[in-house]
Structure 1
Amino acid sequence: MKTLTYVSTKSVNDLTWPTTYDNTNIYSSALSVLTDFQTAGPRVIESNTRADELVQLMKKEHVRMKIVVDTHNHFVGVISLEDLSEDVFIKQVAEGYKRSELMVADLMRPKETLLALSYTSLKNSDIESLLYSQRENTLQHLLVIDEGTKTIRGLISSNDIVRQLRLDVDVAFSSFEHTYHSAILGQKFQSRSLKVA
């Protein structure tokens, strides 16, 4: 067994903070808004988890989306709080299902229906191009695939873009579409107004 060393905090004044990019703007690298699973592990849930239990778990963890895996940790889909809304549960119960019997697999978006962004194209892009490509995306999360390793490399959250660009958008209702309108169209509108004034 190893012995641990303890040190007094009396003379310590500072905290270690993660590297942040205060000057992030729409022309910054799109990688600056990627949650890279090589440095921050994915938040996963097994497909055989009860859906009503997952709602509480996600609220407790303050996450809006989880990657769904099977019992072998293989990617099978994604599930978000929108997929677990009370309206969804009511609809399923009306179709004859018991709320307590609904599993994540019943409500998730399966991988066969998803599109993801190429990590290689993301590396060569900026935030403006990313938002433009997602201007009609009403979802809050976008998966990123490393085509070389055939793995889910990470994800991009519209909320992360909103925070880094310091946009005036309610993150509870954020989507790529809203973020695009705030960051790109809002900026163009402001610059046109400035030219006229």
Structure 2
Amino acid sequence: MKTLTYVSTKDVNALTWPVTIENINLYSPALSVFTDFKTAAPRVIESSTRADELVRLMRKEHVRMKVVVDANNAFVGVIGLEDLSEEAFIKQVAKGFTRSELLVADLMRPKETLLALSYNSLKNADIESLLYSQKTNELQHLLVIDENNKTIRGLISSSDIARQLKLDIDVTFSSFRNIYKIALLGEVHAPSKLQVA
């Protein structure tokens, strides 16, 4: 057994904080707005979870998107607040489901329908190029794939970009398209409010 050493905190006045890059701008490396799953664990949810329970959970955790996995922890898709809107629930109820029986699998975006960014291309890009490539993307999150080992390496959040660039925007439901319009075109745009179930 190893012996642990204890030290008094009496003379300690400072905290260690994460290293952050100051003065992020459009020409900063795109990796500066990338959430790398090698250093930050992905937020996952099983596809068999009740959708109404996920809404409660995401509100509690202040999370806008989760990676969906099956019972074996294999990637099957993603689900975001836009997928859990009141309108999405109503559409499913109109198809004959009851609200309480809807699962994440019923409302998620399956992996077969998703496009993700290559990690190798992201490493050589700046934020401006990233936003330009996403100028029509109405979603809030973009997955990044490590093509060398065929894994989801991480993600990019439009709200993280808006915060890093210090844009004057409500990030609650901002999309890459909105961020592009504000950051690159200088448009003032109020995103429409989405009512989450």
Is TM (by shorter chain) over 0.5?
yes
Q: Which runs of 5+ in 2 are unaligned?
A: 188-197
Measure, in 1, the Cα distance between the counterparts of 2:57 and 2:11. Answer: 39
Q: Distance in 2 between matches of 1:144 and 1:116?
A: 5
Give distance in 1, aligned partners of 2:111 and 2:8.
50
Structure 2 SS opposite 1:91: helix
Q: Distance in 1 between matches of 2:3 and 2:62?
A: 36
User: C-alpha displacement at 1:64, in angstroms?
Assistant: 0.3
Could you tell me which amino acid in structure 2 is paired with residue 55 of structure 1? Answer: V
Residue 175 of structure 1 pairs with residue 192 of structure 2: no
Aligned to 2:67: 67
Q: Which moved more, 1:85-94 or 1:62-71?
A: 85-94
Q: Which amino acid aligns with 2:177?
A: E
Secondary structure at the residue paired with 2:185?
helix
CA distance in structure 2 between the aligned counterparts of 1:28 and 1:11, rounded to whole angstroms: 38
TM-superposed CA distance for 1:12, in Å, is 1.2
Question: CA–CA distance in 2 between the matches of 1:57 and 1:7?
Answer: 39
Residue 184 of structure 1: aligned partner: 184
Q: Give unpaired runs (5+ residues) of structure 1.
A: 188-197
Q: CA deviation at 1:182?
A: 1.2
Q: Distance in 2 between matches of 1:142 and 1:136?
A: 12
The structure with the larger Rg is 1
Bigger CA drift: 165-174 or 139-148? 165-174
The aligned residue for residue 13 of structure 1 is: 13
Q: Does 1:42 align with 2:42?
A: yes
Q: What is the distance in 1 between the residues matched to 2:77 and 2:86?
A: 20
Query: What amino acid is the match of 1:84?
Result: L
Hey, what's the Cα distance between the residues in 2 that align with 1:169 and 1:149?
37
Q: Percent identity?
A: 76
CA shift digits 1:76-119 (9 cap, x unpaired): 00000111111211221122101111110011000000000000
Within a 5 Å distance, the mapping from 1:117-196 to structure 2 comes to: 117-186=117-186
The one-letter code of the counterpart of 1:129 is S
* Deviation per residue, 1:46-101 (Å, 9 max, x gap): 00001000000011111000000001110000000111111211221122101111
- TM-score under structure 2 length normalisation: 0.91
- Distance in 1, matches of 2:29 and 2:103, equals 38
Give the superposed CA RMSD: 1.3
Question: SS in structure 1 opposite 2:79?
Answer: strand
The aligned counterpart of 1:113 is 113
Give the helix-richer structure, 1 or 2. Answer: 1
TM-score if structure 1 supplies the norm length? 0.91
